[in-house]
Amino acid sequence: MRDVLLGADLGTSGLKLVALDPSGAVVAEAEADYAVEHPGPDRAETDVRVWRRALDDALAEVAGALDGCRVLALGLAGQMHGAVLVDEAGTALRPALLWPDRRAVAELAAWRALPAADRAALANPVAPGMTGPMLAWLVRHEPETVARAAAVLLPKDAVRATLLPGADVAVTDRSDASATLLWDVAADRWSAAAVDAAGIPGELLPAVRTSTDVAGTAELTVGAVPVVVGGADTPLALLAAGTTTGVQLNVGTGVQLLRPGLTPRPVDEPHVHSYADAAGGWYAMAALENGGSAWSWVCGVLGMSWVELFDAAASAPAGAGGVRFSPYLGGERGGVAGPDDRGAWTGLNPGTTRADLARSAVEGVVGAVGAAFAMLAVPDDGAPVVLTGGGARSALIQQLLADVLRRPVRHVRVRSASAVGAAMLAGRGIGVDVVPRWDAGPLVEPGPGS
C-alpha cells in the first residue's frame, strides 16, 4: 500500500489539492475554481460552504488515483488576512470577508491613532483588507452577528473547522496571526493595544498553535485522516520551494515578493510586511494586490484568455507603441501605490492595437513588481529569483521579470507550491519529513541592456 500526504491550498479564486508520496513525488493533483462575491462596492466575500465544496470536489477528483493508497495526513494552506466569524461549533455565521475587501477604510483610524511604540510593534503597513480592520468593521456594523460569534478565524482555519466537528475550532497559527494587524511582531503575541484600540472583543481571538500540530481526525472520502493546523499560503510556498535566502516571487491573483531570514523588530511607517513563517522564523514581504487580478480584468475587457493575452503581448513590440497601463484597479497598500490610486490606459492613439493593449497590461504589472522588489533592498549579488504561481508560467513573463529585476529567474513548475508546502506540514505533523521533487524550469537571464 502506497502512503501519501495531502495538501490543500485555499486560494482566492480556487482550491488546489496535491498528494505527495514520502519520496516527494506528486501522486495526484486536482483543482476546483470558485468566484469571489462582490455584494456591494469595495466588498469581497466567499461563503465558507463554497470552500468546503471545492475541497470535497477536489478530493473526489483524486479519489481514483489514490485507490489503494493510505492517506497519512492532510495539511491546509490558506489565503491570508480574511475574517470569518464562527459559532462554537465552527459554523460560519456569515460569508468570509477577504483580503481584496476595502470596506474597513474608516476603521484604519484606530490603528493610526495608536501610540507610536504600539503602532511600530505591529511592523506592518495598515490596510483595510486585513483581519483586524475587517473585524472592527463587523463590530461596528454587524454587532448582532459579532455577539453570536465564538471566534474569528482565518480562511484555512474556517475550512479546517468544517472538517473537525466537535474539535476546538478557535485555533490558528503564527503565520496567519502575524498578518492580521493584531499581532505584536516584536513580542510575537497578540497586540493588546491594537485589539483594545479597535474595540475588538479579545475573546474572539483564536489560540495560536504550531502549524504542524494535529488538530484532529477528519472523516473524508479517502478515509479517517489526521489534519494539522496548517499555515498561510505565502510562507508555505517558501517552505515548499526551499527558499532560505534570496527572494521568491509568487504571481497569482496578487503578487508577493518574499525575502526570508528577517529579524523581527518594531518599524515606524513600514511599507514592507514583517510576517512569521511556518517554521519558527520570519520573512519580509512586498505585496501587490493587483497582479493576476489586473490581467484577468484586461482579459475580460479584451475578450481574451490568459494564453491569448500573453500571446498577443508577445507579438507586440516592447513599449507597446507608447501605451502604458497602470494596474492599480483596486488601489494598493502604499509604497508602490496608494489606496486611492486606480488603473488606467494612457498613451492611446489611432494606431493602438489590441496587442498593444495586451503588451502594456503585461508590462504594467511587471513594472509594478520591479518597484515592489526595490522596496526589499535586496543585495545586488545576481542571485536567481525563484518564481512560483500560475502567472509566472509564461515564457514572456519570465523574461520580462528577469529584465526588470536585473537578475536571473527560475520558475518552479508546480500547480501550487502552497499546496505542496501544506502536504509537507502534514508529514511533519505525523513524523514524516518529505522533500518535494521539483521540475524546475530553465534559468532565464536578463536580456541585453536590462
Per-residue model confidence as pLDDT tens digits over 95-154: 999 999 999 999 999 999 999 999 999 999 999 999 999 999 999 999 999 999 999 999
pLDDT of residue 439: 78
pTM above 0.85? yes
pLDDT number for residue 302 = 97
Where are the chain's structural domains? Answer: 2-232
* Burial class of residue 154 in the structure, from the number of CB atoms within 10 Å of its CB (0-12 exposed, 13-18 middle, 19+ buried): buried
User: Can you give the pLDDT at residue 383?
Assistant: 84
The answer to whether 5 and 434 are in contact (CB under 8 A) is: yes
CB count, 10 Å around CB of 58? 23
The predicted-structure confidence for 203-262, as pLDDT tens digits, reads as follows 999 999 999 999 999 999 888 999 999 999 999 999 998 888 889 999 988 899 999 999
Strand partners, 71: 4
- What percent of the chain shows pLDDT beyond 90? 84
What are the Cα distances from residue 241, in Å, to 78, 207, 235, 387? 17, 28, 10, 9
pLDDT in tens, 397-438: 999 999 999 999 999 887 788 999 999 999 999 999 999 988
pLDDT digits (tens, 9 = 90+) for 151-202: 999 999 999 999 998 889 999 999 999 999 999 999 999 999 999 999 999 9
pLDDT of residue 377: 87
Give the orientation angle of helix 155-163 with respect to helix 48-62, to 10 degrees.
Answer: 60
334 pLDDT above the threshold of 80: no
Residue 72's pLDDT is what? 97
Flag whether pLDDT at 382 surpasses 80: no
Q: Please give the DSSP secondary-structure letter assigned to residue 250.
A: E
Question: Has 188 been annotated as catalytic?
Answer: no
Superfamily of domain 2-232: ATPase, nucleotide binding domain (3.30.420.40)
In this prediction, residues 372-379 reach a mean pLDDT of: 90
Give residue 167's pLDDT.
85
Structure confidence at residue 449 (pLDDT): 73
Non-local CB neighbours of 143 within 8 Å, separated by 6+ positions: none
Question: Alpha carbon 99 to chain centroid distance?
Answer: 9
pLDDT for the residue 166? 82
Q: Which residues contact 398 (CB under 8 A, 6 or more apart)?
A: 387, 392, 409, 411, 441, 444
Strands (E), 90-159: 96-97, 151-153
Residue listed under C-alpha cell 536580456: 447
What is the reported pLDDT for 129?
A: 93
Cα dihedral 280/427/243/24 (nearest 10): 170
Q: Considering the chain, what is the average pLDDT of its residues? A: 94
Q: Look at residue 360 and give its three-state secondary structure.
A: helix
pLDDT at 152: 97
pLDDT value of residue 359 = 98
Strand, helix or coil for residue 14: strand
**Catalytic one of 101, 118, 157, 233:** 233
